[in-house]
Amino acid sequence: MGEGAELRPIEPWQAEELLAHVERAREYAGPWVPFTVKVTDVESARAHLQHFAERQAADTGRFYGIWLDGTLVGGVLFRIFDTAVESCEVGVWLEPSAAGRGLITNACRVLIDWAVDQRGMHRVEWLVSSRNDRSKGVAKRLGFVRDGVLRESFPWQGIRHDMEVWSVLAPEWREARAEREAAEGRD
């Protein structure tokens, strides 16, 4: 993950920590990440985390935090995790103090490696508003390919967003990882 960074699940008992993080992230992530607007108190934070704890128990989703020097600064999740069709969707968020450090890219690599190598996922998706250039940049850096646009499919905060669907397939992911590792080995 990088120096001082740690990736681990966020659990319901950490509701106060999640709320404090959301307060710092709300303005930056709120235009794109609904839970950062909907989590407004400890009770809603706990309910959100409980929802994902139940989804993890059912093997249909997961919710991870990124801690930097002991402070929760962002996270990654499997919004959809469907082993029957070997497909999942990754989502991300961050607070502005942690931007530009590669934390999201590195955390996504860990999650996608696990999903592909351990759980047999064939397709990993990334859904993003056409207006969210930062998130699209991460998808590109990770090697995702833009599949298409779901026009005006997501109403959020008074705007109907076009949602872009990006994906990477397991063979593409493995090939890109091998190329990255070979390039890193040459340094």
pLDDT 10s digits, 70-84: 999 999 999 999 999
The predicted-structure confidence for 14-39, as pLDDT tens digits, reads as follows 999 999 999 999 999 988 888 998 99
In the chain the domains, ranked by start, together with CATH numbers, are 5-185 (3.40.630.30)
Residue 186: pLDDT band (50, 70, 90) is: low
What's the rounded Cα separation, in Å, for the pair 16 and 120?
34
On the question of pLDDT at 187 being above 80, the answer is no
Give the global pTM. 0.92
**pLDDT score recorded for residue 23:** 95
β partners of residue 6: 67
Give me the DSSP letters along 103-146: HHHHHHHHHHHIIIIIT---EEEEEEETT-HHHHHHHHHHT-EE
